[in-house]
Amino acid sequence: MALDTMKGLKRTHYCGEIPLEPQEVVVCGFADRVRDMGNLIFINLRDRTGIVQLAFSDETERAVFEKAQQVKSEYVLMAKGNIRPRESVNDKLKTGSVEIAVSDLRILSKAETTPFEVTNSEKVNEELKLRYRYLDLRSPKLQKNMIMRHDIARVAREYFYENGFLEIETPMLMRSTPEGARDYLVPSRVHGGSFYALPQSPQIYKQLLMISGYDRYIQLARCFRDEDLRADRQPEFTQIDLEMSFVEPEDIQSCVEGCIQRLFKEILGIDVVLPLERMTFADAMQRYGSDKPDTRFGFEIQDISEEVRGMDFVVFSSALENGGSVRAINVKNGAAVYTRKEIDKLTEHAKGIGAKGLAYIRWADEPNCSFKKFLKDGDLERICGRMNAEKGDLVLICADKTATVLSTLGALRLIAAKKLDIIPEDVYNFVWITEMPFFEFDDESGNWVAAHHPFTMVMEECLDKLDSDPANVRAKAWDLVLNGTELSSGSMRITDFQLQQKMFEALGMSDEEIQAKFGFLVDAYRFAAPPHGGMGIGLDRLAMIMCKADSLRDVVAFPKVQNASELMSGCPAEVDQKQLDELSIAVK
């Protein structure tokens, strides 16, 4: 049978938005489910707004009824008919109290049997769903996520427009500059042997826009980084990118807070109380062992070095003698869940992070201490008192270099909270992490390296420490963290070209390297620049949290997998030799 056309009909309503009172409507969509009961046929018609039931009976014109008998799942249909009350109401559907008595049915496209059921794909193999991503994108779950992502982008744009920002596009083909991750390179056909880079961020261009006098810039910018993937990372991503002139850090943060408040109110109906909490980087590491702390639960890290000092336990004493520390977390009510076997698993995890081991006090019926034979009178009571430990609790203790201790306990507090299922789902804890370290120590090279892009302004009181005390140099930089996920990074920028030159030198760059990679920016600063700073808010990560998704894959239309390939289209892929020849490229 030949396929029908739309001729003579025009859609009047979306499936999930039909009126609930009697009238004639025309709807279009995919056949979600077909129930043929002989003299009755019901077809659930699905589009991006929801589902409506199409009804066919003895009262339906015979040709229309026979056509309905041919319909299978995922056929593309167009239907005209009158709305009427349903005999059996479906409370799970927005349109569940009515149905459409069809008078005209068009089969616009037929579908073969799909490799999985579109609206029941929760338990389908992830690889199969990504191979047929266009089918999975038909599912109500993913369509809801994509619509919410669209709404986030729309509301953000509206907010920044209202606050005087100009949306300006920056180049996708740019010069390769060091920004922390590997660049994706694009060979030039015209300039053989030379390459463009896809932007890791629009960082340099948005600073140039401030030098150009545009004052407030906004862009939903596509960014590219060739780095290992995780659940909250993709090689290509979108950030709500902004830059502002004549401002201090608090001005930028306040502006972003207003955007966050608007987004959560308009999209989720949640009131975000401003101003958001602020915490220094040092405080976050001391309390949570992470620069992106999840503050929805306790288990905060406590320093018990003084409580254990003098104990005849070499694990503790050697850590303190070597300048490290002994710290602990109290997993409240953890004794019942964490048996010895489960604690052994935690110990292996701690070793995987870099710790030498894990000590513990498990207080079930009575305190059971893993280092009991080294205790003297009063030692256990002193430790438990410091940790506010009581019957039912589990105290996890780590002794090592302080950095190792903090990162280990920071990871274990998250594992324990998930194990005990105490992390509230409908709580959104935002926190600004401020006074970020300017340098970080690279164990491989033995040198201090930049923790941020090289245009980040150092705090004025730290300028004289750049050469003499890099460990204590703090940057005018900050992160916005939500429920343990870094949403955004921002900083004030260096606007003095002499200071910028000094900063490049402090990062170990030669004059030739500076001129080759950043000469045009350094030159621009010679012609005066307003004080400015900015941020990039991760749109994908924000959407992931607002949609309560488990992975960025659930809020990105066509995502990559762990090895940065796309299963649906099969990219990356080899290209013709002719194309390589045109680009002066040979593949080894």
Give the DSSP per-residue string, 298-316. Answer: ----EE-HHHHTT-S-HHH
Residues in CB range of 351: below 8 A, 6 or more apart? 357
Do you find a cis peptide bond into 249, omega within 30 degrees of 0? no
Token pair in block for residue 193 = 């042997």
CA dihedral sign of residues 314, 316, 321, 322 = positive
Q: Can you give 490-507 as a three-state secondary structure string?
A: EEEECCCHHHHHHHHHHC
Q: How many CB atoms lie within 10 A of CB 306?
A: 12
**123 neighbors 129 (Cβ within 8 angstroms):** no
**Rounded CA gap, 319 and 321, in Å?**
6
Angle between helices 249-263 and 140-162 (to 10 degrees): 140
**Which residue from 143, 146, 168, 165 is spatially nearest to 156, judged by alpha carbons?**
165
Residues in CB range of 472: below 8 A, 6 or more apart? 462, 465
**404 neighbors 441 (Cβ within 8 angstroms):** no
**Residue 42: strand pairing partners:** 35, 55
**pLDDT at residue 481 in the model:** 98
Say whether 182 sits in a helix, a strand or coil: strand
Q: Taking the model in full, what pTM does it have?
A: 0.92
Q: Phi, psi (5° rounding) for residue 125?
A: -50, 130
**115 neighbors 535 (Cβ within 8 angstroms):** no
Do you find a cis peptide bond into 470, omega within 30 degrees of 0? no
Element (H, E) at 317: helix 314-321
Radius of gyration of the chain (CA): 30
**Rounded CA gap, 244 and 533, in Å?**
6
**533 neighbors 549 (Cβ within 8 angstroms):** no
Residue that has been written with the tokens 């105490």 in this structure: 422
**Which residue from 438, 334, 436 is spatially nearest to 390, judged by alpha carbons?**
334
**pLDDT at residue 460 in the model:** 85
Per-residue pLDDT of the chain (588 residues; tens, 9 = 90+): 589 999 999 999 999 999 999 999 999 999 999 999 999 999 999 999 999 999 999 999 999 999 999 999 999 999 999 999 999 999 999 999 999 999 999 999 999 999 999 988 888 999 999 999 999 999 999 999 999 999 999 999 999 999 999 999 999 999 987 666 789 999 999 999 999 999 999 999 999 999 999 999 999 999 999 987 776 689 999 999 999 999 999 999 999 999 999 999 999 999 999 999 999 999 999 999 999 999 999 999 999 999 999 898 999 999 999 999 999 999 999 999 999 999 999 999 999 999 999 999 999 989 999 999 999 999 999 999 999 999 999 999 999 999 999 999 999 999 999 999 999 989 999 999 999 998 887 777 777 777 777 889 988 888 888 777 888 889 999 999 999 999 999 999 998 877 887 777 766 778 888 888 888 888 898 899 999 999 999 999 999 999 999 899 999 999 999 899 999 999 999 999 999 999 999 998
- Where does residue 215 fall: left (phi above 0), alpha (psi -120 to 50 degrees), or beta otherwise? left
Token pair in block for residue 377 = 């009178």
Q: How many CB atoms lie within 10 A of CB 120?
A: 10
Residue that has been written with the tokens 């307003």 in this structure: 530
**pLDDT at residue 180 in the model:** 64
